[in-house]
């Protein structure tokens, strides 16, 4: 439906953010996904998160692979550069882009086929490199664009629309991200905007590899009884460990929550994450216990959502590589070319 052009005019009283932008300034073109697709809700959450954070849209780069999920960057942040790369390889393109300019915000959007099947290797390696990014997987357990084949996150025993039963074990990207050293790991549900928007906002402010797995039911191929990624299944089995509030202010922590149920995390830039704990025995600072909890609840048939792990001062790829503060793409001859004298020394050393 790209022939439908969104009207530019909007209501004069539309609220603006600190930059004077309205919500509309963060939108993209009209979605061509199926009506009711969970992915569109995620796009809406990204738009809201960026609007509320007052981010200049052009300072965000959005990258994706191939698939329904990877089409979505067209539908948000129309003033941002986008890159729809090849299937399963968004992580390497994003890594390269990040190497070139450390000052932009990188948003990687992928799907379960893109990240857990064809792109599992690149997913794993960009997480372990600590690329400073928000990596969102729009996870529906199915290949939509090719019409309904299983992906690698489909649960064992779940059945496809045409009746085939999946006999392979599922890949849990959240568990992998935890194991591989992601410093921010969350899971949410496309239908739960209240939980998702703060998770995206905090992930954007987080320095390092931030991963969010968003269960996003496919209305066309995976929203039927028997699917573990349908709206009904997730609603019935959602086990939220916490509810996140996100504050940019660096003021004192609001203390009107009962002790033991509020947890405050300070990010590298001074922003605060306030966690309202729903599961009292859940600690988001312990990688190992997070993995254990995740697997325990999974065994009980529950989908754990919320901020599962965060480590505020983990660092990122540029820190590990010790690159200069200025983006590499801004350096010119003066900084890059060693000049004829050093070349003469090289020549002399090879005689």
Q: What are phi and psi of 303, to 5 degrees?
A: -100, 110
**Binding of other proteins by 69 (CB under 8 A):** no
Q: Which stretch in 77-85, 176-184, 232-240, 283-291 sits in contact with other proteins by CB under 8 A?
A: 77-85
| One residue of 23, 24, 81, 268 binding other proteins per CB under 8 A | 81
**Binding of other proteins by 55 (CB under 8 A):** no
Query: What's the closest the beta carbon of residue 94 comes to other proteins, in angstroms?
Result: 6
Q: Which stretch in 55-63, 181-189, 232-240, 254-262 sits in contact with other proteins by CB under 8 A?
A: 55-63
Give the DSSP H or E segment for 297. Answer: helix 287-299
SS3 category, 69: helix
Strand partners, 306: 187
Identity of the residue, 40 or 155, whose beta carbon is nearer to other proteins in the bound complex:
40
| One residue of 14, 16, 121, 146 binding other proteins per CB under 8 A | 121
**Binding of other proteins by 104 (CB under 8 A):** yes
> Per this entry, what is the length of the chain?
351
| One residue of 41, 122, 188, 305 binding other proteins per CB under 8 A | 122
**Binding of other proteins by 144 (CB under 8 A):** no
How many angstroms separate the CA atoms of 108 and 79, rounded? 16
**Binding of other proteins by 22 (CB under 8 A):** no
In Å, what is the CA distance from 92 to each residue of 135, 202, 326? 12, 23, 21
Contacts (CB under 8 A) with other proteins, residues 311-330: 318, 321-325, 328-329
How many angstroms separate the CA atoms of 72 and 294, rounded? 28
**Binding of other proteins by 93 (CB under 8 A):** yes
**Binding of other proteins by 151 (CB under 8 A):** no
Q: What are phi and psi of 319, to 5 degrees?
A: -65, -45
Reading the block at residue 240, the tokens are: 């939220």
**Binding of other proteins by 89 (CB under 8 A):** yes
| One residue of 99, 145, 175, 279 binding other proteins per CB under 8 A | 99
Identity of the residue, 14 or 100, whose beta carbon is nearer to other proteins in the bound complex:
100
How many angstroms separate the CA atoms of 245 and 202, rounded? 9
C-alpha closest to that of 80 among 204, 182, 196 = 204
Query: What's the closest the beta carbon of residue 97 comes to other proteins, in angstroms?
Result: 4
**Binding of other proteins by 18 (CB under 8 A):** no
Query: What's the closest the beta carbon of residue 325 comes to other proteins, in angstroms?
Result: 7
How many angstroms separate the CA atoms of 306 and 278, rounded? 10
SS3 category, 46: helix
**Binding of other proteins by 83 (CB under 8 A):** yes
| Residue corresponding to tokens 């939980």 | 195
Pairing of strands 105-111, 60-64: parallel
How many angstroms separate the CA atoms of 262 and 76, rounded? 33
What residues make contact with other proteins under the rule CB under 8 A?
2, 56-59, 61, 63, 73-74, 78-86, 89, 91-101, 103-104, 121-122, 124-125, 129, 318, 321-325, 328-329, 331-333, 335-340, 342-344, 346-347, 350-351
């Amino acid at each position: 439906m790209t022939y439908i052009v969104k009207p530019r005019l909007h209501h004069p009283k539309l609220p603006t953010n600190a930059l004077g932008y309205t919500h509309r300034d963060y939108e993209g073109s009209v979605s061509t996904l199926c009506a009711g697709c969970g992915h569109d809700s995620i796009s809406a959450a990204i738009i809201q998160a960026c609007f509320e954070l007052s981010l200049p849209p052009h300072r965000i780069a959005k990258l994706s692979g191939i698939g329904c999920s990877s089409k979505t960057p067209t539908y948000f942040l129309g003033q941002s550069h986008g890159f729809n790369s090849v299937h399963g390889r968004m992580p390497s393109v994003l890594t390269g882009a990040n190497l070139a300019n450390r000052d932009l915000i990188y948003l990687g959007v992928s799907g379960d086929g893109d990240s857990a099947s064809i792109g599992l290797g690149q997913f794993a390696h960009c997480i372990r490199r600590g690329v400073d990014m928000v990596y969102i997987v729009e996870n529906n357990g199915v290949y939509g664009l090719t019409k309904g084949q299983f992906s690698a996150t489909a649960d064992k025993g779940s059945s496809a629309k045409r009746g085939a039963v999946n006999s392979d074990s599922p890949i849990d990207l959240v568990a992998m991200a935890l194991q591989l050293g992601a410093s921010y790991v969350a899971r949410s549900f496309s239908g739960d905007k209240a939980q998702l928007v703060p998770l995206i906002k905090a992930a954007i402010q987080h320095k390092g590899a931030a991963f969010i797995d968003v269960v996003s039911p496919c209305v066309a191929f995976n929203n039927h009884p028997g699917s573990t990624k349908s709206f009904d299944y997730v609603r019935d089995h959602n086990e939220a460990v916490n509810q996140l509030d996100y504050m940019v202010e660096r003021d004192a922590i609001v203390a009107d929550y009962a002790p033991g149920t509020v947890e405050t995390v300070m990010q590298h830039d001074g922003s605060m994450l306030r966690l309202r704990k729903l599961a009292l025995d859940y600690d988001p600072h312990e990688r190992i216990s997070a993995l254990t909890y995740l697997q325990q609840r999974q065994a009980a048939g529950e989908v754990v959502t919320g901020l599962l792990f965060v480590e505020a001062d983990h660092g990122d790829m540029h820190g590990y590589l010790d690159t200069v503060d200025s983006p590499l793409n801004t350096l010119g001859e003066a900084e890059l070319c060693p000049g004829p004298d050093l070349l003469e020394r090289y020549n002399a050393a090879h005689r």
